[in-house]
Amino acid sequence: MTELLKKLVLTSGVSGREDKIREVIKAEAEKYADEIIIDPMGNLIAHKRGKGKKIMFASHMDEIGYFVTFIDEKGLIRVGNVGGINTLSASYSEVVSERGVCGVALPSDSNEVPKVDALCIDIGARSKKQAEKRVSIGDYFVHAPHIKRLYGNIYTGRPLDNRIGCLVLLEALKNVKPTDNDLYFVFTVQEEVGLRGAKPVAYRIEPDIGIAIDVTSAGGKPTSPKTKVKIGGGVAIKIKDASVICSYEIVEKMRELCLDSNIKYQDEILLKGGTDTGAIQTAKMGCLVGALSIPTAYIHSTNEMIDISDVKEAIKLTCAIAERI
């Protein structure tokens, strides 16, 4: 499982340019799905056919990053953000482009923590002409991907948001037991820029139940929000966030499944941020929705942190939902 996680993390795919990570996911998913569909937006649907309830699981495969907007006379790369950038973490960190060009993200005008539009990237070029040989307008950069085991079950790296959700979905697709339910394991695009991929794919599938798998902010760390969700506390069952109020019957059923199957869980309310759940809930005529989350520290920084034991509990719950909800 950790080898697959490494493969997912080390493959880049900023919002709108998910082709590389989609190919990695496709190669894994097609081993276990009855059908693979890639829709016009780029969402990947792995379908396990059944005659029962339509259950759609969604995990976004895109990540935050930058698009090149301008190259100045000194060869510095000016960029615009894709998704929510933590500029404190971004400053003086290593970045890499889709072409493999490495650089350093840095404040362009001062030593203070910059706004996103004041970030630039230094690739070592000494002139605009040199830079243009390696970078073009519209290229994307991401913070250098990496993953490392720190101690015990604790891993740090990026982009764990949301490659860790993709891992959960792939492992569930692999391990789910035969069921009458009609199962759709969906890897969505452009979540980080407004939940854009999830709505059309939910419109297409028309699920009876929609479940998103994503990260959520964990408490107990120096920069953490005030929340009871803790790393190592088990899979988090979402009650609400800024984008959705989950269907309470689904929340209750997920709790029951955890108790029946000895799955370690914790309740989650996220005051800021959202997931694909919000888009799924309101697509077409709507559906019942829930979400399960991986407690994660330092989200959208260059070093996110998880406990792999929480991931294992999330896989168990995803399988239980697919088989028994």
DSSP 214-276: EEEE-BSSTT--S-S-BTTS-EEEEEE-SS-B--HHHHHHHHHHHHHHT--EEEEE-SS---H
Residue 314 confidence (pLDDT) above 90: yes
Residue type at 191 in one-letter notation: E
- Whole-number pLDDT of residue 109: 64
Judge whether 301 and 35 are in contact, CB under 8 Å: no
Least Cα distance to 117 among 126, 125, 108 occurs for 108
Segment 248-257 mean pLDDT: 98
What is the pLDDT, as a whole number, of residue 220?
76
Q: How far apart are CA 175 and CA 115, in angstroms?
A: 44
Q: Which of 28, 86, 85, 80 is nearest to 59 (CA)?
A: 28
pLDDT for the residue numbered 222: 74
**Mean pLDDT calculated for residue range 268-294:** 94
Alpha-carbon gap, residue 237 to 248, rounded angstroms: 11
Asked if 206 contacts 284 with a C-beta cutoff of 8 angstroms, the reply is: yes
| Rounded percentage of the chain residues whose pLDDT exceeds 70 | 97
Nearest to 320 by CA among 181, 176, 138: 176
Give the pLDDT mean for 173-200.
96
Tell me the pLDDT of the chain averaged across its residues: 94
Q: How confident is the model at residue 49 (pLDDT cuts 50, 70, 90)?
A: very high
Structure tokens at 110: 């001062």
At 89, is the pLDDT very low, low, confident or very high (cuts 50, 70, 90)?
confident
Q: In sequence order, which residues have a C-beta less than 8 Å from that of residue 85 and are 6 or more positions away? A: 64, 66, 116, 119, 300
Q: What are phi and psi of 89, to 5 degrees?
A: -70, -35
Determine the pLDDT at residue 228.
Answer: 87
At residue 226, the pLDDT reads 74
Binning pLDDT at 50, 70 and 90, where does residue 110 land? low
Give the pLDDT score at 172: 98
Q: Characterize 227-238 residue by residue with b for buried, 16 or more Cβ atoms within 10 angstroms of its Cβ, and e for exposed.
A: bebbbbbbbbbb
Catalytic residue among 18, 28, 63, 191: 191
Give me the domains of the chain, ranges plus CATH numbers: 2-63+159-324 (3.40.630.10), 65-143 (2.40.30.40)
Which 3 state secondary structure label does DSSP give 299?
coil
* pLDDT band of 76, cuts 50, 70, 90: very high
Q: Supply the pTM of this predicted model.
A: 0.94
Instruction: Identify whether 225 is preceded by a cis peptide bond (ω within 30 of 0).
Output: no
Q: Cα separation of 25 and 7, whole Å?
A: 10
pLDDT-derived band at 106, boundaries 50, 70, 90:
confident
- Band (pLDDT 50/70/90 cuts) for residue 297 is very high
pLDDT digits (tens, 9 = 90+) for 192-251: 999 999 999 999 999 999 999 999 999 877 776 778 899 999 999 999 999 999 999 999
Q: What percent of the chain has pLDDT over 90?
A: 88
Catalytic site includes residue 132:
no
